[in-house]
Structure 1
Amino acid sequence: MIIIKSDMEIEYMRNAGKVVADTLAKIESVIKPGITTAEIDKLAEEFILKQGAKPSFKGYGGFPASICASVNNEVIHGIPKNRILEDGDIISVDCGAILNGFHGDAARTFPVGNISKEAEQLIKVTKECFFKGMENAVVENRLTDISAAVQKHAESFGYSVVRDFVGHGIGKSMHEDPQVPNYGTAGRGPKLKHGMVLAIEPMINIGKCNVKVNSDGWTVVTSDGTLSAHYENTLAVLNSGPEILTLS
């Protein structure tokens, strides 16, 4: 069941979303060669708590950390640990916070020091994929209008779209209906209505779309070892047009 949010509930979600956006901005400011993903996680958790919010991810389904930190060929759900980031790496950070009973959820892929042109383009195109999807997140469109726009843009660069994991509705629960694939044929799925709130999150690979889960039970990696990038925002579908709730 898709839960439509009231204007007041969307305001609560703006507040939760701002905590997430500000946390990601804080993280971006410290990412450099030599820092560990565990240090980034500690900083994120402390910052979220100082805002009067709680990390959405910590303990969710047994996840042990406050952010997901996925490096290079890691797609999503990377567990922060004592891995030292090196010059040329890219790191996808997924962050969630709950405030006043509502969740915000967003992800960014950041460069570590000097990265290759190939990696730079992947990050840029993955972000563009989100905004191509957002252009279609308008009242009376169909859900897969978003999906098809993401897929078309990614594949126009020769990239592939991860199919095993998708975006989602969000609100009082981290994951709500509907699922939001990053691929598909336009014109299908439920009609978009004022008050729907979606986490749209392109996960784009340089190589093939196939992924697998590592032995830790969480970290998803590309099967062919190629780079992957992730860009996500929580977005409200409104009569006035789509609004990103996770921008600082």
Structure 2
Amino acid sequence: MIIENDDQLEKLFVIGHLCRDILHRMLDAVRPGITPLELDAIAAKMFEEAGGVSAPILAYDFPGQTCISVGTAVAHGIPDERPLVEGEMINIDVSGMKDGYFGDLGASRVVGQASEEQAKLLAATKEAQFKGMMAAKAGQPINAVGKAVEKVASKGGYKIIEGLTGHGVGGFIHEEPTIPNVYKRGLRKKLQKGQVITVEPFLTTHSRDYVEDLDGWTLHLDKGGLGAQFEHTFVVTDGAPIIITK
């Protein structure tokens, strides 16, 4: 989607802020003993009260309001009844639609107290998302995002899940263009002013790929280890991005 007027931008902010509020409420509720299904119920209640709907359900008939990935699951996890355990990594991805406009964001954290290794991975992934987002300027190649993400990952000694990428959003949950988190030789397409996209790097300690669970949705780190993701929806400008989900 490319923003054409202030009305579109305002409607994007409405759904973006709703998704942000849902994510923050869910993250604040994370603790040992709570279940992903209980966390997902928070999203269901907040979407209903605000007149929004879950994008994964709307677009893909996903079996949950949100994607909640725990442990070696790095993306698209189905909310279940297994209580969370102290020290586990958890990622929550919230995307929704209201009045025909879509927003999308995600974040990772640790259940309870983070170890030093977990804290460093989380900080690096958050930095990679920020640097990638800041590199996404009108007229710059899409590759600028992957280059910025790779620089942060390399500095920390982390790997990147190449098959999981950012994307266009706004008119639908997943639109063109694809926004790789690595530098793709030969990718010359440039970003456009007003384009609505996400940047969402997946940094890991051991894995560069994922394997799909038998449930047909959940993606697990192929070599195990730790993984984290952070994501924002934003509008591309000539300078700093307009962050819809800030």
Q: Normalising by structure 2, report the TM-score.
A: 0.95
Mapping 1:1-248, distance limit 5 Å: 3-7=1-5, 8-185=7-184, 188-247=187-246
2: CA distance, partners of 1:157 / 1:94: 24
- Report SS of the residue matched to 2:97: strand
The amino acid of 1:10's aligned partner reads: L
Alpha-carbon offset, residue 187 of structure 1: 8.8
Q: Is the 8 A contact 1:64 1:79 kept in 2?
A: yes
Q: Is the 8 A contact 1:142 1:187 kept in 2?
A: no
The amino acid of 1:222's aligned partner reads: L
2: CA distance, partners of 1:118 / 1:206: 9
The amino acid of 2:9's aligned partner reads: I
Q: Is the 8 A contact 1:49 1:55 kept in 2?
A: no
Alpha-carbon offset, residue 60 of structure 1: 3.1
Number of positions where the alignment pairs a residue of Structure 1 with one of Structure 2: 245
2: CA distance, partners of 1:166 / 1:139: 19
Alpha-carbon offset, residue 47 of structure 1: 1.0
Alpha-carbon offset, residue 29 of structure 1: 1.7
- Report SS of the residue matched to 2:57: coil
The amino acid of 1:172's aligned partner reads: G
Farther off after superposition, 98-107 or 236-245: 236-245
2: CA distance, partners of 1:165 / 1:115: 25
Deviations 1:166-218 (A, max 9, x none): 11000111111000010015894322221101011111111120211011111
Alpha-carbon offset, residue 241 of structure 1: 2.6
1: CA distance, partners of 2:43 / 2:55: 12
Change (3 A) 1:38 1:199: same
2: CA distance, partners of 1:102 / 1:184: 30
- Report SS of the residue matched to 1:156: helix
- Unaligned 5+ runs, structure 1: none
- Report SS of the residue matched to 1:75: strand
Percent identity between the two aligned chains: 32
Q: Is the 8 A contact 2:207 2:224 kept in 1?
A: no
1: CA distance, partners of 2:188 / 2:174: 18
1: CA distance, partners of 2:148 / 2:217: 28
Alpha-carbon offset, residue 33 of structure 1: 0.6
- Report SS of the residue matched to 1:103: strand
Q: Is the 8 A contact 1:147 1:186 kept in 2?
A: no
Q: Is the 8 A contact 1:143 1:187 kept in 2?
A: no
Q: Normalising by structure 1, report the TM-score.
A: 0.94
Dislocated runs of 4+, deviation >6 Å: none
Alpha-carbon offset, residue 239 of structure 1: 3.5
- Report SS of the residue matched to 1:225: coil
Alpha-carbon offset, residue 115 of structure 1: 2.0
Alpha-carbon offset, residue 62 of structure 1: 2.9
- Unaligned 5+ runs, structure 2: none
Alpha-carbon offset, residue 238 of structure 1: 2.0
Q: Is the 8 A contact 1:144 1:187 kept in 2?
A: no
